[in-house]
Amino acid sequence: MEQQFIEWLKAKVGSDSRLDVGNGDDAAVLRPPAGRRTVFCTDMLVEGVHFPPAPDYDPFAVGQKAVGVNLSDVAAMAGRPEAAVASVTLPRQGGQQIAERLLEGMLAMASRFDVRLVGGDTTAWDGPLVVNVAVLGSVAPGTIWRRDAARPGDLLLVTGGLGGSLRGRHLEVEPRVEEARVLSSAFTIHAAIDISDGLTLDLSRMMEASGCGAELMLAEIPIHADAVEAAADHPEHGDPLARALGDGEDFELLMSMPEGQATQLLQAIAEGRLAGWPGTPLAVIGRVLAEPGLVAVAADGSRSTLAAKGYLHEFS
Ligand SMILES: [Mg+2]
């Protein structure tokens, strides 16, 4: 079955001018774009952990997510994704059908962002579906967005809306690749991270890495409609704001940039003259402070300590 599958995949993927050798050899060979650095990341999804157990998941959606979460990481480095490899461990029962839908989902997400699936590996076992994707991309050396370079006085900006992703958005990742491309080519961003484990947790990671702290203006947090609905269904898990602050898998960009640059950026978007901007909402949610820790600023100006909350993969 494996050889058949590789032939099917080769026919689906096609050729690409960025490749000296594509699918079907021992390894793929890429032509690195002149003058750019290589960005490289990987992410694993496990049935029952990152998506519901069978038969409650759609392999197509899992394939899209497996590629999408990696594209989100590349975008958070201001990178341009170019190629991907996928390793899949299939359940023995129904594996072939799952594999085809899974690959179709991967290819759908990859082709939206001009990313080529250049290889992979499949195995089968009596356990659940496990999918690992690695993505290669490139970035201009002067514009790499690290998480450890935020500076006191920077404004904090976030794309999209936050919270309640478990209502379905966590499987429909919208990687902010285009947003990162436009922003990195025209503005100075000191630091960035993609929000995968929750706003306050990922913000605290960025601030700790940068040796800074931050204040968040609670009234400015963009709360997703999913967070409002999730809070109505399960009020015991927090109100919409708490969900926007702590729910994971938003896959939005959190950026730290000089105030003057942020002002110019917001003006350019408001006046519709930021070429290539996909129309994604962008909100200023706070400011970087010299003192470590997170501070919540309420609408009336009162300040309180904010605990970093989010999703952690615990192990011992
Ligand atoms: Mg990340």
Which domains are seen in the chain, by residue range? 2-141 (3.30.1330.10), 145-305 (3.90.650.10)
In this predicted structure, what is the pLDDT of residue 288? 98
How many angstroms does the Cα of residue 25 sit away from the middle of ligand 1? 31
The residue count of the chain comes to: 316
In this predicted structure, what is the pLDDT of residue 129? 97
Confidence of residue 14 (pLDDT cuts 50, 70, 90): confident
How many angstroms does the Cα of residue 11 sit away from the middle of ligand 1? 32
Tell me which H or E stretch contains 141.
none
Mean model confidence pLDDT for the chain? 94
| pLDDT per position as a tens digit, 202-247 | 999 999 999 999 999 999 999 999 999 999 999 998 999 999 999 9
Query: At residue 6, does pLDDT exceed 90?
Result: no
Query: At residue 56, does pLDDT exceed 80?
Result: yes
Neighbours of ion ligand 1 (CB under 5 A): 73, 194
How many angstroms does the Cα of residue 225 sit away from the middle of ligand 1? 23
The structure tokens 């699918």 sit at 23
- Highest mean pLDDT among 3-12, 84-93, 306-315 belongs to 84-93
How many angstroms does the Cα of residue 217 sit away from the middle of ligand 1? 23
How many angstroms does the Cα of residue 184 sit away from the middle of ligand 1? 17
Return the CA Rg of the chain.
20
Confidence of residue 58 (pLDDT cuts 50, 70, 90): very high
Q: Please give the average per-residue pLDDT across 16-33, as a whole number.
A: 88
How many angstroms does the Cα of residue 17 sit away from the middle of ligand 1? 29
How many angstroms does the Cα of residue 58 sit away from the middle of ligand 1? 24
Whether 226 and 169 have beta carbons less than 8 Å apart is answered as: yes
How many angstroms does the Cα of residue 196 sit away from the middle of ligand 1? 6
In this predicted structure, what is the pLDDT of residue 23? 82
Question: Which residues are CB-neighbours of 278 under 8 A, at least 6 positions away?
Answer: 178, 179, 182
How many angstroms does the Cα of residue 79 sit away from the middle of ligand 1? 12
Q: Please give the average per-residue pLDDT across 286-305, as a whole number.
A: 97
Q: Please give the average per-residue pLDDT across 46-71, as a whole number.
A: 95
How many angstroms does the Cα of residue 6 sit away from the middle of ligand 1? 30
